[in-house]
Amino acid sequence: MNRAMNGWKIAFFSLVTLILIAFIIFMSFFLRYFPEVSQDHYLQQQPSAKEATFSIQSDKMRLNSFIASQIAANPTEIPYMVELTDEHVQFRSSFSILGRNVPVTVNFQPIVAENGDLLLEVETFSVGILYLPVDRVLQLIYEWIELPEWVEMYPSDHLVEVKVTELTVEGNKSMRFRFKTFDLKEDHIELDMIVNE
Protein backbone atom coordinates (compact mmCIF):
# COMPACT_ATOMS: atom_id res chain seq x y z
CA MET A 1 0.00 0.00 0.00
CA ASN A 2 2.80 2.39 0.93
CA ARG A 3 4.60 1.56 -2.33
CA ALA A 4 1.40 2.30 -4.34
CA MET A 5 1.03 5.61 -2.49
CA ASN A 6 4.63 6.54 -3.35
CA GLY A 7 3.91 5.79 -7.04
CA TRP A 8 0.97 8.19 -6.98
CA LYS A 9 3.06 10.87 -5.26
CA ILE A 10 5.79 10.52 -7.87
CA ALA A 11 3.23 10.67 -10.69
CA PHE A 12 1.52 13.71 -9.12
CA PHE A 13 4.73 15.67 -8.60
CA SER A 14 5.95 14.70 -12.08
CA LEU A 15 2.72 16.07 -13.56
CA VAL A 16 2.97 19.28 -11.52
CA THR A 17 6.60 19.70 -12.64
CA LEU A 18 5.62 19.11 -16.28
CA ILE A 19 2.83 21.69 -16.05
CA LEU A 20 5.19 24.23 -14.45
CA ILE A 21 7.80 23.66 -17.17
CA ALA A 22 5.14 24.09 -19.88
CA PHE A 23 3.90 27.27 -18.20
CA ILE A 24 7.44 28.70 -17.95
CA ILE A 25 8.09 27.89 -21.63
CA PHE A 26 4.79 29.52 -22.63
CA MET A 27 5.50 32.66 -20.59
CA SER A 28 9.05 32.99 -21.92
CA PHE A 29 7.70 32.61 -25.49
CA PHE A 30 4.99 35.18 -24.78
CA LEU A 31 7.38 37.72 -23.25
CA ARG A 32 10.01 37.20 -25.96
CA TYR A 33 7.79 37.45 -29.04
CA PHE A 34 5.35 40.09 -27.85
CA PRO A 35 7.38 43.31 -28.03
CA GLU A 36 7.30 46.28 -25.71
CA VAL A 37 4.55 48.76 -26.51
CA SER A 38 5.53 51.98 -28.28
CA GLN A 39 4.69 55.13 -26.32
CA ASP A 40 3.74 57.24 -29.38
CA HIS A 41 0.39 58.97 -28.86
CA TYR A 42 -2.24 60.25 -31.27
CA LEU A 43 -2.15 64.02 -31.96
CA GLN A 44 -5.10 65.95 -33.45
CA GLN A 45 -4.72 67.76 -36.78
CA GLN A 46 -6.89 70.72 -37.80
CA PRO A 47 -8.80 70.86 -41.12
CA SER A 48 -7.74 73.28 -43.86
CA ALA A 49 -9.63 76.59 -44.25
CA LYS A 50 -9.70 76.88 -48.11
CA GLU A 51 -11.97 74.09 -49.27
CA ALA A 52 -15.35 73.42 -50.89
CA THR A 53 -17.35 70.72 -49.12
CA PHE A 54 -20.04 68.29 -50.37
CA SER A 55 -21.90 66.07 -47.87
CA ILE A 56 -22.38 62.33 -48.46
CA GLN A 57 -24.66 60.19 -46.28
CA SER A 58 -24.70 56.42 -46.04
CA ASP A 59 -25.70 53.58 -43.76
CA LYS A 60 -24.17 50.32 -42.50
CA MET A 61 -25.71 48.15 -45.22
CA ARG A 62 -24.35 50.26 -48.08
CA LEU A 63 -20.95 50.72 -46.47
CA ASN A 64 -20.71 46.97 -45.71
CA SER A 65 -21.48 46.27 -49.36
CA PHE A 66 -18.81 48.76 -50.48
CA ILE A 67 -16.21 47.34 -48.09
CA ALA A 68 -16.95 43.77 -49.24
CA SER A 69 -16.59 44.76 -52.90
CA GLN A 70 -13.26 46.49 -52.19
CA ILE A 71 -11.95 43.44 -50.31
CA ALA A 72 -13.09 41.16 -53.16
CA ALA A 73 -11.42 43.43 -55.73
CA ASN A 74 -8.12 43.33 -53.79
CA PRO A 75 -7.67 39.72 -52.64
CA THR A 76 -4.96 38.87 -50.12
CA GLU A 77 -3.13 35.70 -49.18
CA ILE A 78 -5.13 35.44 -45.96
CA PRO A 79 -8.87 36.02 -46.47
CA TYR A 80 -10.57 38.44 -44.12
CA MET A 81 -13.73 40.47 -43.76
CA VAL A 82 -14.64 43.80 -42.23
CA GLU A 83 -18.22 44.38 -41.15
CA LEU A 84 -20.08 47.22 -39.47
CA THR A 85 -22.36 45.79 -36.78
CA ASP A 86 -24.78 47.61 -34.48
CA GLU A 87 -22.01 48.21 -31.94
CA HIS A 88 -18.59 47.69 -33.56
CA VAL A 89 -16.50 47.74 -36.65
CA GLN A 90 -15.52 44.08 -36.69
CA PHE A 91 -12.52 42.48 -38.42
CA ARG A 92 -12.67 38.70 -38.86
CA SER A 93 -10.18 36.26 -40.30
CA SER A 94 -8.74 32.85 -39.49
CA PHE A 95 -5.53 30.91 -39.76
CA SER A 96 -4.73 27.22 -39.71
CA ILE A 97 -2.96 25.55 -36.80
CA LEU A 98 -2.52 21.78 -36.79
CA GLY A 99 -5.12 21.40 -39.52
CA ARG A 100 -7.81 23.40 -37.70
CA ASN A 101 -9.02 26.88 -38.54
CA VAL A 102 -8.63 29.28 -35.63
CA PRO A 103 -10.78 32.42 -35.85
CA VAL A 104 -9.33 35.89 -35.24
CA THR A 105 -11.76 38.65 -34.27
CA VAL A 106 -11.03 42.30 -33.55
CA ASN A 107 -13.78 44.66 -32.36
CA PHE A 108 -13.26 48.38 -32.90
CA GLN A 109 -15.22 51.34 -31.58
CA PRO A 110 -15.21 54.04 -34.30
CA ILE A 111 -14.53 57.65 -33.30
CA VAL A 112 -14.45 60.60 -35.70
CA ALA A 113 -11.43 62.84 -35.05
CA GLU A 114 -11.74 66.64 -35.28
CA ASN A 115 -9.94 66.69 -38.63
CA GLY A 116 -12.27 64.01 -40.10
CA ASP A 117 -10.01 60.98 -39.82
CA LEU A 118 -11.48 57.78 -38.42
CA LEU A 119 -10.06 56.53 -35.13
CA LEU A 120 -10.72 52.87 -34.40
CA GLU A 121 -10.38 52.14 -30.70
CA VAL A 122 -9.63 48.44 -30.24
CA GLU A 123 -11.99 47.03 -27.64
CA THR A 124 -11.21 43.31 -27.93
CA PHE A 125 -8.74 41.13 -29.79
CA SER A 126 -9.38 37.40 -29.69
CA VAL A 127 -7.73 34.37 -31.24
CA GLY A 128 -10.08 31.43 -30.85
CA ILE A 129 -11.38 31.68 -27.29
CA LEU A 130 -8.32 33.58 -26.01
CA TYR A 131 -8.53 37.33 -25.48
CA LEU A 132 -5.08 38.85 -25.97
CA PRO A 133 -3.66 42.11 -24.57
CA VAL A 134 -4.58 44.76 -27.14
CA ASP A 135 -1.49 46.96 -26.78
CA ARG A 136 0.93 44.05 -27.25
CA VAL A 137 -0.94 42.67 -30.26
CA LEU A 138 -1.09 46.10 -31.93
CA GLN A 139 2.64 46.53 -31.36
CA LEU A 140 3.24 43.09 -32.88
CA ILE A 141 1.12 43.95 -35.94
CA TYR A 142 2.87 47.31 -36.24
CA GLU A 143 6.30 45.65 -36.28
CA TRP A 144 5.50 42.64 -38.49
CA ILE A 145 2.98 43.88 -41.06
CA GLU A 146 3.58 46.63 -43.58
CA LEU A 147 0.51 48.85 -43.33
CA PRO A 148 -0.59 51.39 -45.93
CA GLU A 149 0.79 54.87 -45.27
CA TRP A 150 -2.72 56.14 -44.46
CA VAL A 151 -3.11 53.68 -41.54
CA GLU A 152 -1.27 54.50 -38.32
CA MET A 153 -1.23 52.47 -35.11
CA TYR A 154 -0.89 53.78 -31.56
CA PRO A 155 -0.56 50.62 -29.42
CA SER A 156 -0.36 52.37 -26.04
CA ASP A 157 -3.62 54.23 -26.83
CA HIS A 158 -5.30 51.08 -28.27
CA LEU A 159 -5.96 53.13 -31.42
CA VAL A 160 -5.76 52.58 -35.15
CA GLU A 161 -5.99 55.83 -37.12
CA VAL A 162 -7.40 55.59 -40.64
CA LYS A 163 -6.23 58.79 -42.29
CA VAL A 164 -9.23 59.22 -44.56
CA THR A 165 -8.23 62.86 -45.10
CA GLU A 166 -5.01 61.72 -46.81
CA LEU A 167 -6.72 59.38 -49.27
CA THR A 168 -7.11 60.75 -52.78
CA VAL A 169 -9.54 59.84 -55.54
CA GLU A 170 -7.58 58.18 -58.36
CA GLY A 171 -4.51 60.30 -57.67
CA ASN A 172 -6.44 63.59 -57.70
CA LYS A 173 -4.83 65.39 -54.75
CA SER A 174 -7.35 68.25 -54.77
CA MET A 175 -10.26 65.90 -53.88
CA ARG A 176 -10.36 64.23 -50.47
CA PHE A 177 -12.79 62.90 -47.88
CA ARG A 178 -13.46 63.66 -44.22
CA PHE A 179 -15.85 61.88 -41.83
CA LYS A 180 -18.39 63.97 -39.95
CA THR A 181 -20.47 61.25 -38.26
CA PHE A 182 -19.91 57.52 -37.78
CA ASP A 183 -22.79 56.41 -35.54
CA LEU A 184 -23.37 52.65 -35.79
CA LYS A 185 -26.26 52.50 -33.30
CA GLU A 186 -28.27 55.13 -35.17
CA ASP A 187 -27.08 53.75 -38.54
CA HIS A 188 -25.94 57.20 -39.63
CA ILE A 189 -22.65 57.63 -41.47
CA GLU A 190 -21.86 61.01 -42.94
CA LEU A 191 -18.74 62.26 -44.64
CA ASP A 192 -17.66 65.27 -46.63
CA MET A 193 -16.04 65.26 -50.03
CA ILE A 194 -13.56 68.12 -49.98
CA VAL A 195 -12.29 69.96 -53.03
CA ASN A 196 -9.26 72.14 -52.27
CA GLU A 197 -8.30 75.19 -54.29
Q: Which residues pair with 177 in a beta bridge?
A: 193
CA distances (Å), 35 to each of 7, 29, 149, 151, in order?
43, 11, 22, 20
Cβ neighbors of 119 (< 8 A, separation 6 or more) are: 42, 110, 111, 112, 113, 159, 160, 161, 162
- pTM beyond 0.75: no
Give the containing element (helix H, strand E) for 72.
helix 60-73
* CA separation for the pair 74, 51 (Å, rounded): 31
Whether the per-residue pLDDT at 165 is higher than 60: the answer is yes
Domain ranges for the chain: 34-42+50-196
Please write down the long-range contacts of 16-21, taking CB distance under 8 Å and 24 or more positions apart. Answer: none
Q: Read off the pLDDT of residues 107-158 as tens digits, 9 standing for 90 and up.
A: 999 999 988 899 999 999 888 888 888 888 888 777 777 777 888 888 888 9
Share of residues in the chain with pLDDT > 70 (%):
89
Q: What is the pLDDT of residue 24?
A: 83
